[in-house]
Structure 1
Amino acid sequence: MAKASASASVGDNKITLYSYWRSSCAFRVRIALNLKGLKYEYKPVNLLKGEQFRPEFLQLNPVGFVPVLLDGPDVLFDSFAIIMYLEDKYPRNPLLPPDISKRTINFQAAAIVSSTIQPLTNLNLLNYIGEKVGPDEKIPWVLSIFKRGFTALEKLLKDHTGRYATGDEVFLADIFLAPQLHTAFKRYNLSKEEFPILSRLHDAYNEIPAFQEALPENQPDAVH
């Protein structure tokens, strides 16, 4: 599997990932790159220092978020778009199942994470809540969002799981779930007892090298 600190060419293209160690969106892309066996150069962007708003970074992503992926002449931002690009361009080790019903479950799980959970727990919103509502309200807000999203995911996946989210192979849903579960259970100490399916999946992901190498604490810019 690819090491996050390594760089290499794929054909004539050199892949570069602009990332922040704690970003769950960048975490997803690191997992996808590792599962595809694609090596890349890791370029840290310190969100706490506001490096995402520097003019040179905004030229790559005018939204001012990580991740950003450079693949030869292609510049991509938004983790969902990047992962779909990798799936199309590098078909080895597919991230989507061939069965259309199972593919739909994967898309739905990914959408719950990327639309219902992550945007409502990101750094910008938490800073806003801390300033406008109160610093003590940030953690309760985050936990409420996790609980609502995770409850929906438990219902969605209950008839589809195998070893992983939609069977015995790792697919798109797992790539989106793993970072969110890691954040909720490890960083925010969300109780696992309420979410037995997600808790079991979290344990399974921790055994996969591609996921382990993508963990926030294993990134070159990690603060321990």
Structure 2
Amino acid sequence: MPGGHLTYEERRKIAEGLAERLPYAEIARRLGRPRSTVGREIARNGGPYGYRAARAQHAAGRRARRRPYAPVGTPAAADAGERDPRAVRAFEERLTAFLSGGMPAMAAKVLVCLFTSDTGNLTVTDLTERLRVSPASVSKGVGWLEQLGLVRRERDNRRDRYLVDDEVWYRTWLAGTRSMAMWADAVREGVDVLGVQTPSGVRLRTASRFFDLLSADMALAAEHYRQAFSTTGDVTR
């Protein structure tokens, strides 16, 4: 019913509408729901090309089980346990500082901002307001994250919306696996150049074996993740 939570049947109809390439407005009309409700549902659950009804239903269940957010002092906040804004801010700063050790500072700020938002997706306007920086700064941070597959971009009502999802670490890990394989190939080339029996050749051959084994182990770990979480509905692609 309009105004209430989406049901699995409604999510299934959304998926069918997307498969038929129907506009969001038409899907919303068929459901008797506001277009904004349908747009948010699709954006937070994989976008128009990745939306799956079962996965969206499971994600909604997970969100419902989490401690809900409400402005401090409201009845809902009192029922759920108020979030301390200072504690939230301190956590965001600590996480940003930690991530900044391995990525540009602005990219770290954007990633933390997305991770600590309840929706997991924000527009450029949202990010500039929360981070108090220019749109150009946000775009630079987002661009770096997109290259690594840490953030996805979806077009929603003529606006770019940036998302993080449950597969972000899986994709990043696979990228690391490919990187290890490339290291193995690059080092192995030097074995023939420097000589198999020379000290430097032996050293490079050992390094190449190390990267080969590490790449294989990382690939197995990634597959274990996919199988383990797909059984609970967390990863289904």
TM-score (norm 2): 0.27
Which of the pair has the greater relative contact order for Cα pairs under 8 Å at 6+ separation? 1
TM-score (norm 1): 0.28
Q: Which has the larger radius of gyration?
A: 2
